[in-house]
Amino acid sequence: MEYTTDIAIIGSGPVGLFTVFEAGMAGYSSVVVDSLEEVGGQLTALYPEKPIYDIPGHPKVLAEELITKLKDQAAPFNPTYLLGKPVDSFLKKEDGTFTLTAGENTIHARSICLAAGGGMFAPRKPPVENIEAYEGESVFYAVRGKERFKDETIVIAGGGDSAADWAVELAPLAKHVHVIHRRAEFRAAEETVNQLHSLAENGNVTIHTPCQLKAISGQNKKLETVTIADLDGNEKTLEASKLLCFFGISPSLGPIVNWGLDMNKKTVNVEPSTMATNIEGVAAVGDIAEYGHKLHLILTGFAESALAIKTLQTYMDPDKKFKVVYSTSKGVPQA
Ligand SMILES: Cc1cc2nc3c(=O)[nH]c(=O)nc-3n(C[C@H](O)[C@H](O)[C@H](O)COP(=O)(O)OP(=O)(O)OC[C@H]3O[C@@H](n4cnc5c(N)ncnc54)[C@H](O)[C@@H]3O)c2cc1C
């Protein structure tokens, strides 16, 4: 499908979503492209149920709750979300407008705001045959909804914070939790590791170290067993109904790296007072935007969105005088 918009926003993380709001307040339409199937970036994909404590005005807010609120805040401006497809090609035309493609979608935009964070992230998967067949039903790379794990026998693979945190958090709900890690030591916070060992001594947790996943089996997406092996290759088969793998993520910016942007390894250099990149008409905000003393925090990204929209307005409508308009005076469009 073809879309025409004022601003194409690449990335629907918290900062991309707030950019929709800032664009809308300045009178601009937006199309948001994300490779993930859901909006929310890292918050939805990596830590939806973790509380965040450093969002101004929210003493404590769950990551997924913040994303719902940001989406609601952007809703009066009717953004178009094109999800599940990474951007692939990028063309700046002679008249200064841009054409992007994302799968079967073509987006014509007057300007671009990059809010692509650390890149498209895919969870690192273990080399276990046929694992895809169980994904979404029995095999997961993040926890969304703890209830799904109630009374289940869970195998948790990994040795970092996520693996240890979720083993401790899910143990009270689960029938049993097996934790598999290829080293004897966990890399997680000491307190959590102590809790894990205490659950292994007195609760329903079994720790298998040093061990690796070897194979899984089951039927119709329903997991029945997980086979693990120690470093000498001795195998053990565990009965299990859910498998959670926490081997980190491998982010990639995809073709963005070939667009001629002034880049570091995985970030784009911007002028911090404007968020302008080296390509006129392209601004960058949030984790992808880099400058001296940058703080890679959500609250930093929110302020950057406002600066970027001012910059893009100057590019799109150079004759229009930029004026700060208070939201209290202007309000937002009513549904
Ligand atoms: C476990 C954890 C806890 C954290 N806790 C806090 C905290 O307490 N407070 C805080 O302020 N920060 C915290 N952070 C950091 C915070 O999550 C990031 O600063 C924030 O997510 C950055 O938002 P963003 O919108 O810039 O990018 P992201 O959230 O990374 O979103 C970027 C989006 O762009 C998409 N994308 C990337 N490349 C492409 C492409 N080529 N095509 C299409 N889509 C693309 C990605 O799929 C992604 O959805 C935490 C991070 C982690 C991992």
The runs of H, that is alpha helices, within 110-205 are 161-170, 190-202
Cα–Cα distance between 157 and 208 in angstroms, integer?
10
Closest-lying ligand 1 atom to the alpha carbon of residue 297: 11
Residue found under tokens 């968020």? 275
Cα–Cα distance between 308 and 287 in angstroms, integer?
14
Closest-lying ligand 1 atom to the alpha carbon of residue 285: 26
pLDDT band for 281, please (50, 70, 90 cuts): very high
Q: Which of 204, 166, 211, 209 lies closest to 188, judged by CA? A: 166
Residue nearest to atom 3 of ligand 1 (CA): 47
pLDDT band for 143, please (50, 70, 90 cuts): confident
Q: What is the pLDDT of residue 79?
A: 98
Q: Which of 41, 61, 58, 39 lies closest to 49, judged by CA? A: 61
Q: pLDDT tens digits, residue range 104-132?
A: 999 999 999 999 998 987 788 999 999 99
Beta-carbon count within 10 A of 198 CB = 12
pLDDT band for 155, please (50, 70, 90 cuts): very high
Structure-block tokens of residue 230? 């120690």
Task: Please tell me the distance between residue 121's alpha carbon and the centre of ligand 1 in angstroms.
Answer: 9
pTM for the model:
0.77
Name residues contacting ligand 1 (CB within 6 A).
10-16, 33-36, 41-43, 46-47, 52, 54, 86-87, 115-120, 253-254, 256, 286-287, 296-299, 301
Residue 327: phi and psi, rounded to 5, are -65, -30
Q: pLDDT tens digits, residue range 54-68?
A: 999 999 999 999 999
Task: Please tell me the distance between residue 103's alpha carbon and the centre of ligand 1 in angstroms.
Answer: 22
Q: What is the pLDDT of residue 65?
A: 98
**Helix/strand/coil for 52:** strand
Ligand 1 pocket: which of 298, 300, 305, 307 to mutate (most atoms within 8 A of CB): 298
Task: Please tell me the distance between residue 172's alpha carbon and the centre of ligand 1 in angstroms.
Answer: 30
Domains of the chain and any CATH numbers: 2-121+250-330 (3.50.50.60), 125-247 (3.50.50.60)
Section 240-248 average pLDDT? 95
Cα–Cα distance between 131 and 22 in angstroms, integer?
42
Does 322 score more than 90 pLDDT? Answer: no
Q: Which residues pair with 250 in a beta bridge?
A: 122
Residue nearest to atom 14 of ligand 1 (CA): 297
Residue nearest to atom 27 of ligand 1 (CA): 117
Task: Please tell me the distance between residue 203's alpha carbon and the centre of ligand 1 in angstroms.
Answer: 35
Does 321 score more than 90 pLDDT? Answer: no
Q: pLDDT tens digits, residue range 260-273?
A: 999 998 899 999 99
In a 10 Å sphere around its CB, with 0-12 CB exposed, 13-18 middle and 19+ buried, how is residue 142 labelled?
A: middle
